[in-house]
Amino acid sequence: MSAPRYDVIAIGNAIVDVMAPASDELVEELGMKKGGMTLVDADQAKELYDAMGPAKEISGGSAANTLAGLSGMGAQCAFVGQVADDQLGNVFAHDIRAVGIDFDVPAREGEPPTARCLIFVTPDGQRTMNTFLGATQFLPADALNEEAIGGADILYLEGYLWDPEEPRRAMRSAIKTAKDAGRKVAFTLSDAFVIDRYGDDFRALIDDGMIDILFANEVELGALTGEEDFDAGIDALKDKVPTLVVTRSEKGAVCATGGEFYKVAAEPIDKVVDTTGAGDLFAAGFLFGLVRGEEPNRCLKRGAIAAAEIISHYGARPETDLAKLMAEKLG
């Protein structure tokens, strides 16, 4: 097998996050589920935007956030996602290229506009997300660069993007390309609502041996396995996925791989400002260690360090030099 051109190539939603502080009362008044993610249409997106206080626009999208973290640590990455030919599309494309990530999918003409996620951040740092998917739902399979996918060490897929039909077909095609090339496929479950809709698809991919690395949090683990007990959920999956990584917020994270079980504590932090992107950056740290051939404990530690950095400020893209931070923390 030839040496990989990329460490990680990811397929995900190309989204610009619009974030604003909000009171618990406002979240309740707007009928939102605190801490959750809800898909909204164009009219709902406008209504929620109008209800927001002063906001920041920051490029986001789960898989793109993960790549931003990976690139910040020194990995070579590429992103596959769909924006529209509009202002937010230009913002997204500029931001992802500015951090050294290859992104060459042409912008889509006409409606709908580039996706945006309206995020209400309560004083406890919890983020309540309302996502208008817009153009990102129309990523066609012919946007895939099979040579790039086959030439990446790891193909990383975002569960959120499984919902629309066109990107789902594209991701199935990408999985086949990666597997045919002998590469690893990593998958993040993204949210329990995605599992509620497509859990059978995900379980079939796992049973068919198509997923090499699976990322989940506690809630998603329970939704996928049907097990309320955490340990029972781990037991249900650990022999089906070569590498299983489950994050547990302030309780740290665990990894089951090679018949062994590893765990790491959450990194101490003075104040949780915004939890947006914590799981995305944990995946970045873990994957960076993995592509560098590090032991699972060190991969987990990298994930914990990256997650702690991201929850210390607004936004899901790192504001600290992650390579320097890792060197300081890990030696």
Query: What does the pLDDT read at residue 17?
Result: 87
Q: Is residue 307 part of a domain?
A: yes
Tokens of 92: 């997204």
Q: Is residue 228 part of a domain?
A: yes
Query: What does the pLDDT read at residue 1?
Result: 59
Question: Number of structural domains, the chain?
Answer: 1
Query: What does the pLDDT read at residue 190?
Result: 92
Interval 279-299: pLDDT, tens: 999 999 999 999 999 999 999
How far is 276 from 316, CA to CA, in rounded Å?
6
- Better-scored residue on pLDDT, 163 or 89: 89
Average pLDDT over residues 168-190: 96
When pLDDT is cut at 50, 70 and 90, the band that residue 179 belongs to is: very high
How far is 60 from 99, CA to CA, in rounded Å?
13
How far is 35 from 63, CA to CA, in rounded Å?
19
Interval 116-129: pLDDT, tens: 999 999 999 888 98
DSSP codes joined into one string, 246-304 = EE-GGG-EEEEETTEEEEEPPPP-S-----TTHHHHHHHHHHHHHHTT--HHHHHHHHH
Tokens of 310: 């991201």
Question: Which of these, 221, 252, 226, 253, lies nearest to 238 by C-alpha position?
Answer: 221
Q: Is residue 242 part of a domain?
A: yes
296-310 and 278-291 helices, crossing angle to 10°: 150
The fraction of the chain above a pLDDT of 70, given in percent, is 99
Provide the mean pLDDT of the chain: 94
Q: Is residue 1 part of a domain?
A: no
Average pLDDT over residues 240-263: 96
Instruction: Tell me which residue has tokens 């249900």.
Output: 236
How far is 282 from 104, CA to CA, in rounded Å?
26
Question: Which of these, 272, 252, 271, lies nearest to 262 by C-alpha position?
Answer: 252
Query: What does the pLDDT read at residue 56?
Result: 86
When pLDDT is cut at 50, 70 and 90, the band that residue 47 belongs to is: very high
Expressed as residue numbers, the domain containing 195 is 6-14+61-110+135-330
Q: What is the pTM of this model?
A: 0.90
Are the CB atoms for 154 and 301 separated by under 8 Å? Answer: no
Residues facing residue 79 across a β-bridge: 10
Tell me which of 3-12, 239-248, 252-261 is least confident: 3-12
CA angle 216-219-221, nearest 5°? 50
Question: Which of these, 249, 308, 299, 254, lies nearest to 281 by C-alpha position?
Answer: 308
Instruction: Tell me which residue has tokens 């992103």.
Output: 79
Q: Is residue 319 part of a domain?
A: yes
Q: Is 129 helix (H, G, I), strand (E, B) or coil?
A: strand
Query: What does the pLDDT read at residue 2?
Result: 65
When pLDDT is cut at 50, 70 and 90, the band that residue 54 belongs to is: very high
**CATH number assigned to the domain comprising residue 244:** 3.40.1190.20
Q: Is residue 152 part of a domain?
A: yes
How far is 149 from 160, CA to CA, in rounded Å?
20
Name the phi and psi angles at 162, rounded to 5: -70, -20
When pLDDT is cut at 50, 70 and 90, the band that residue 316 belongs to is: confident
Q: Is residue 69 part of a domain?
A: yes
Q: Is residue 264 part of a domain?
A: yes
Query: What does the pLDDT read at residue 262?
Result: 98
Average pLDDT over residues 23-44: 91
Interval 200-236: pLDDT, tens: 999 999 999 999 999 999 999 999 999 999 999 999 9
